[in-house]
Structure 1
Amino acid sequence: MDEVWLKMFDYPHLAALAAVLREGSFERAARGLGITPSAVSQRIRALEERVGATLVVRSQPPVATEAGARLCAHLERVRLLEGEVAADLPGLGGPEAGPVTLNVAVNADSLGSWFLPAVARFAEATGALVHLTREDEEHTARRLRRGEVLAALTTEPIPLPGCRTRPLGALRYAACASPAFLRRHFAQGVTPQALARAPVLQFDANDGLQARWLRQQFDLPLTAPAHRVPSTQGFLDACQAGLGWALQPLPLAAGMIESGALVELLRGRYLDVPLHWQHVRLGSPLLERLTKEVVAEARTRLIALR
């Protein structure tokens, strides 16, 4: 039975599939694996013939089919459990064995404002590595569903199949602009008419925070011209420089608001984005330890959910 199991799952072939989906291209996957793109393609094709199903849609970027996502999820779980066993029994790992690695999806604002101290404490205590994938908080669950990560910060409160979820709190945002921008574009007040004309900042195409705040405060769509700044620190700097107004995470912007470098468009009219921590059900001590650190950090940095 063990021999049949090993033949069923060819882990170098599974690793090629996971690398393509994680890196977003056959070429980058090949560089990471130290083989040619042709070899990556051959491994995936052989795996598809073995399974009898298409595992990846050859689009730009490549997308996992349902079967491909299930195999990637299996590989992530096996890597974690094998790594934990090897850490307890070093003789099994061989000379090339390295630290256990956990793949985690996290949104940019959490990454830039409160999440990293939890990861640092986890890494210091366990010696494990963490590979963070940046994704919009409304899309991180997709990474978990595809099996690309073992845990994710997400806005989805309902557990995905095979996962556990923990409510963390809400990341609070304030609509801000520089004093000069406020004088230039909102001289007559922050009105619907002024908001329709004043340039706004967006992180990327998935950034809907500014639109959500407008709907919440004025029941208006976002129609103003937008600059895109795909960097958390750059987003804050662009706002301070007067490029546009934007929703800023309060843990990052509070000091600038207190100093007057940034001004709230409508004082105290915040947008709270609830965050949840989801991770696969494995009974893994490492995942449990990371969860403990994330929950502890969230209690001190996020707004309690009502």
Structure 2
Amino acid sequence: MKDLDSAGLDCLAALADEGSFERAAKVLSITQSAVSQRLRSLEAQVGQPLVVRSRPLRLTESGKLLLRYARQLQALRADVMRELGAGLAPHERLAIAVNADSLATWVLPALNDIVQRGLSEGFGLELVVDDQDFTHDRLRQGEVLGCVSTVRQALRGCVVRALGVMRYVAVASPDFVAQHLPQGLTVANFAQTPFLVFNRKDDTQSLWVSKALGLRAPRLRERFVPSSEAYARAVCMGWGVGVAPELQLRPLLASGELVPLRPDVSVDVALYWHQWKLVGELETAPVRAALLDELGQALARGARQALVMPS
């Protein structure tokens, strides 16, 4: 691995990020021909194709494996440049995956100090958003170096730490309840009641209904709103029942804009931080990816302040 061409690995990462040779060439400030040449050289080194030249292009399994390595080298290089007081290339950034509900509530405050400091240090940060059950796949495929996930087991070569529990509760607007649920949500009326769902990966509403009504695999009347902020707004507007983080809904419940349905029932989602263990060498001296460690520590502190701590 030490002999792999770093320029070729940078090209592979840029291709994965940008999805085309043209855009990869722009972010790297080289020609498309140079991108193709460096990729071919890297493919010749490993003896396997790394990119499927489609639109958008995609990485082969070997390409995903090398992408993880490329991301790790970039993170180590970024830390060395920080220590030297040198600036980073504009395209270099550290990518982590988080779920939308965490992003809408506690993640930004948790990372604020690091990001504010990074304005002067020049490091780039990319927050990749996916469902909390799927952020782990992005880590496995090399798209990111860390993730907030519901997965408890660490990948080989990764470390994991428990963050806390995000508690989901069911709510609706007072007008919606008065008009559609005057007797509350029951086995008799839930199938006709619209539920707001974040996206097709989201099963929180079904889990809550199963728990509240003692039903197995309930089929819901769904309305999809794929934004945490818009989701809460749609519930306030009376589009249907929402099942969302209590942390996000707290001010809306306090103001009376929303009312709880079955406050004794909640869905608790345990969250974990995963990151690659990055250790490299610079002229025989060990180098750790300190910035990635700092991000993990900041997220853990933020989670302790915002999430429910498991008993």
> Which TM-score applies when normalising by structure 1?
0.87
Question: Which of these residues, 54, 66, 70, is aligned with residue 75 of structure 1?
Answer: 70
**Identical-residue share of aligned pairs (%):** 37
Listed as ranges, the matches of 1:98-117 within 5 Å are: 101-117=93-109
Q: Which residue of 1 aligns with 2:200?
A: 205
Cα displacement (A) at 1:74: 1.1
Unaligned 5+ runs, structure 1: none
Q: Which residue of 2 aligns with 1:266?
A: 262
Amino acid corresponding to residue 81 of structure 2 in structure 1: A
Q: Deviations over 1:158-188 (max 9, x none)?
A: 1111110000101111111111222222223
Unaligned 5+ runs, structure 2: 279-287
Q: Deviations over 1:98-144 (max 9, x none)?
A: 69732110000000000111111122345433211111111111111
Say whether the 8 Å CA contact 1:83–1:99 is kept in structure 2.
no
Question: Which of these residues, 166, 177, 181, is aligned with residue 186 of structure 1?
Answer: 181
- Of the structure 1 ranges 293-302 and 174-183, higher mean CA displacement relative to structure 2 is found in 174-183
CA distance in 2, matches of 1:213, 1:254: 18
CA distance in 1, matches of 2:18, 2:91: 21
Q: Which residue of 2 aligns with 1:247?
A: 243
Name the SS for the 2:131 alignment partner: coil
Name the SS for the 2:127 alignment partner: strand
Structure 1 vs Structure 2 CA RMSD:
2.6
> Which TM-score applies when normalising by structure 2?
0.85
Does residue 215 of the first structure (1) align with residue 207 of the second (2)? no
Amino acid corresponding to residue 294 of structure 1 in structure 2: L
Q: CA 1:227 to 1:32, structure 2 compared with 1: closer, same or farther past 3 Å?
A: farther
Q: Alignment length, in residue pairs?
A: 298
Q: Deviations over 1:83-104 (max 9, x none)?
A: 21122224xx5x7746973211
Q: CA 1:159 to 1:258, structure 2 compared with 1: closer, same or farther past 3 Å?
A: same
Cα displacement (A) at 1:211: 1.6
Name the SS for the 1:115 alignment partner: helix
Say whether the 8 Å CA contact 1:84–1:100 is kept in structure 2.
no
Say whether the 8 Å CA contact 1:173–1:272 is kept in structure 2.
yes
Cα displacement (A) at 1:60: 6.6
CA distance in 1, matches of 2:31, 2:102: 36
CA distance in 2, matches of 1:222, 1:40: 51
- Of the structure 1 ranges 125-134 and 255-264, higher mean CA displacement relative to structure 2 is found in 125-134
Name the SS for the 2:189 alignment partner: helix
Q: Deviations over 1:247-281 (max 9, x none)?
A: 11111101111221111121131111100001111
- Of the structure 1 ranges 101-110 and 213-222, higher mean CA displacement relative to structure 2 is found in 213-222
